[in-house]
Amino acid sequence: MAEEKSLNFLEEIIENDLKSGKHASIVTRFPPEPNGYLHLGHAASIVLNFGLSKKYGGYTNLRFDDTNPSTEETEYVESIKNDVHWLGFEWKNELYASDYFEDLYLFAIKLIRLGYAYVDDSDSETIAREKGTPTMPGTNSKFRDRSVEENIELFEAMKAGKFKDGERVLRAKIDMSHINMLMRDPVMYRIKHAHHHRTFDKWCIYPMYDFAHGQSDSLEHITHSICTLEFVPHRELYNWFIEKLDIYLSHQYEFARRNISYTVMSKRKLLQLVNEKYVDGWDDPRMPTISGLRRRGYTPESIRDFCDRAGIAKRENVTELSLLEFCAREDLNKIALRRMVVFDPIKVVLTNYSEENEMVSVEDNPEDVNGGFREVPFSKELYIEQDDFMEVPPKKFFRLFPGGMVRLKGAYIIKCDEVVKDAEGKIIQLNCSFISESKSGNDTSNIKVKGTLHWVSAAHAIPVEVRLYDRLFKVEDPSSAAGDFKDYINENSLEIIPEVYAEPALKNAVTGEHYQFLRKGYFALDKNSSKDKLIFNRTVTLKDTWAKEVKKG
C-alpha cells in the first residue's frame, strides 16, 4: 500500500482536474529566459514541473522565453539545456517563444481586427504617465481610437521596419482605469532593431512577455502553467488574451520562489557578482547556480532531494542553507570514496617501527557493504593533523597528547612518548611507539582507545591543492538587509590551501567521483585540476560535534 503522502497545493489542483475529467493527462513547461545561468530557484521550478508531469502521466516542454533579443544569448541556452539534463530531466520538446513569432503576429492582427489592439505613437514617458498610479486611474492615449484599417497599416509598417526603436508600440485596448495596472492597455509589441539569437534579423518587432507567454502556453496546450508569485497580477491579462483570441485555455498557477539563507537568488544580482568579479564566474563553486553547485561537488540527487524536502507553497520563505548541506551529506555519505588527507601536518616518528614500510588495507566506504578496499602505505614517518595533538589536552579531548594513545585509521594504535621542539619552543615532531599487535583487523592488544586519526606516510604522500568554501554572504538575507547586498559579502568565503598531503590513491582521482577526506569533509576534483596539480573543492564539511564543543568552551 502506498504510504499516505500529503499533497502540495498544485498536486491537489491536478488531482482534482484529473478526477473531474477536466484533463486526461497534464502538460507543463519549464520556461527559462536565456539571459543567465540556472540557479537553485530554477531547480525548484524544474523539479516541480518535470516532477508533476512525471507523477501524473504527461510531459514537460523546455521552452526558452526569448522575446527580448537584447539580453539573450546562445551561450545561456546551451548551459540551461546542460543543467536540466544534469539534474536528471528529459523534456518532450525543445521550444522557443521565437518559434511562435509568426503565430503571435497573426494573433496581434486578429486582436486589431476585433478592435482589441491599437498602435500608439506615444513615447515611453508619455505612456508611463498616462498609465496613472495604483491609486489613480490612467488616461486614454490620443491614439487609442484609430480605425482598424489604420492600425493594421501601422502595425505592418512597424513589422516592415518603417520606424525606429521606440517610435511605435502595439497596445491592447482594455481599460485605462482598470484597478489592475497591468490591464491599463499593456504594450504587446515593441520595436527593436536587434539581432535575435535564433530569428536573426527577420523581425524588428518583438512581443512582450505578457503577449508571448500565455499564447505560447496555449499553442502547446499546456494544462498547468506554473510560475512564481510576482506573476499573480498578470494572470488576469493572461486570461484576457486567451479569451479574446478564443484559443486553448491554459491556466496559470503561482507558487513562492525558493530563497536560501546566506546567498542571493536573482539573476540580476548573480550577474553583478560575476561582472564585478566578486566570484570566478557563473560556475564559481560559491554560487547558488546549478553549474556552481556541480563544480563544487553537489550531486543532482542531493539537489532534487533538497527541492522535495523544502516543498512548495505560496508564502515567502527563506530556507536554511543547512537543509541543502544535509541533503548533500546524506547522498555523499553513501557514495563517497574515503581517502586520507592531512591539511596541516605534524610529523610523527614511530621509534620502534622498522625502516621498511608496509601496506595496510583500508575500506573505500564503510557504508557500502560491497565496497572495496585500497592499499595505503604505512611507514616509520607519518603526518597527522596538528589539531589532533595537544600538549595540554582539555577534558573530553580524545586525540593524541603526551602519554596518550590513539589508533591510526586502518593501521596501529600508537602512543605519544616524546614531544620534540625547536629552539623557539615550537613543536616540530612527535616521537611515538606503535603497538605491533594492534593492527587493524588483527588486533590482539586488547587496548581500547577513544580516538582514531587519519594520517599519511610522509614519504608517500602526494601534494594536492584544496579549496575550502564558506557561505558567500555574512547575513542570512542579504537581499533584504539595509543598503547594498554586496556590502554583506563574506570576504573569507574562499580559502585556498595550495599544498596538503594526500594518500597516493588520490592520484587516480577523476571528475564526477566524490571523495570523503576522512574527518575533513566531502571533496570533488575541480575543473581546473590537472595531472600535475590536483585541485579539490570542498563540497561540504562533515558534521563536527567536537568543533561545536570547543566553540562552547
Partner RNA sequence: UGCCCGAUAGUAUAAGGGUAGUACAUCAGAUUUUGGUUCUGAGUGUCUUGGUUCGAAUCCAGGUCGGGCAACCA
At a CB cut-off of 8 Å and minimum separation 6, what does 132 contact?
Answer: 138, 139, 176, 177, 181, 184
Q: Which is nearer to RNA, 146 or 284 (CB)?
A: 146
Residue 514 vs residues 336, 365, 506: alpha-carbon distances, Å? 5, 11, 11
Q: Where are the alpha helices (DSSP H) in 178-299?
A: 209-219, 234-245, 267-275, 290-296
Handedness of CA 508, 514, 518, 521 (dihedral sign): positive
Q: Which is nearer to RNA, 280 or 368 (CB)?
A: 368
Residues linked to residue 434 through DSSP beta bridges, in sequence order: 414
Catalytic site residue 314?
no
Taking the C-alpha atoms of residue 419 and residue 390, their distance in angstroms, rounded to an integer, is 10
Asked if residues 233 and 226 have their Cβ atoms less than 8 Å apart, the reply is: no
Taking the complex as a whole, how short is the minimal distance between the CB of residue 188 and RNA, in angstroms?
A: 9
Instruction: Determine if residue 19 is left, alpha or beta; phi over 0 gives left, psi from -120 to 50 gives alpha, anything else beta.
Output: alpha
Applying the rule CB under 7 A, the residues between 401 and 420 that interact with RNA are 407, 409-410
The candidate with the shortest Cα–Cα distance to 95, out of 70, 66, 72, 56, is 66
Applying the rule CB under 7 A, the residues between 79 and 118 that interact with RNA are none
Taking the complex as a whole, how short is the minimal distance between the CB of residue 77 and RNA, in angstroms?
A: 13
The candidate with the shortest Cα–Cα distance to 457, out of 416, 426, 499, 411, is 411
Applying the rule CB under 7 A, the residues between 133 and 162 that interact with RNA are 133-135
Catalytic site residue 153?
no
Size of the site for RNA (CB under 7 A): 96
- The interface mask with RNA, positions 304-343, x = CB under 7 A, is -----xxxxxxxxxxxx-xx-xx--xx--x----x-----
Taking the C-alpha atoms of residue 30 and residue 42, their distance in angstroms, rounded to an integer, is 9
Residue 178 vs residues 136, 144, 156, 261, 394: alpha-carbon distances, Å? 10, 16, 29, 38, 72
Q: Which is nearer to RNA, 25 or 124 (CB)?
A: 124
- List the catalytic residue out of 131, 190, 257, 467: 257
- List the catalytic residue out of 63, 267, 338, 407: 267
Catalytic site residue 33?
yes
272 contacts RNA (rule: CB under 7 A)? no
Q: Which stretch binds RNA (CB under 7 A): 108-116, 375-383, 394-402, 456-464?
A: 394-402
- The interface mask with RNA, positions 461-500, x = CB under 7 A, is -------------------x--------------------
At a CB cut-off of 8 Å and minimum separation 6, what does 529 contact?
Answer: 509, 511, 535, 536
Q: Which is nearer to RNA, 394 or 463 (CB)?
A: 394
- What cell does 323 get? 537543509
Q: Which of 24, 229, 428, 459 binds RNA (CB under 7 A)?
A: 229
Q: Which of 49, 122, 141, 289 binds RNA (CB under 7 A)?
A: 122
Asked if residues 340 and 454 have their Cβ atoms less than 8 Å apart, the reply is: yes
Q: Which of 57, 115, 161, 366 binds RNA (CB under 7 A)?
A: 366
Applying the rule CB under 7 A, the residues between 516 and 535 that interact with RNA are 516, 518-519
Taking the complex as a whole, how short is the minimal distance between the CB of residue 502 and RNA, in angstroms?
A: 15
439 contacts RNA (rule: CB under 7 A)? yes
199 contacts RNA (rule: CB under 7 A)? no
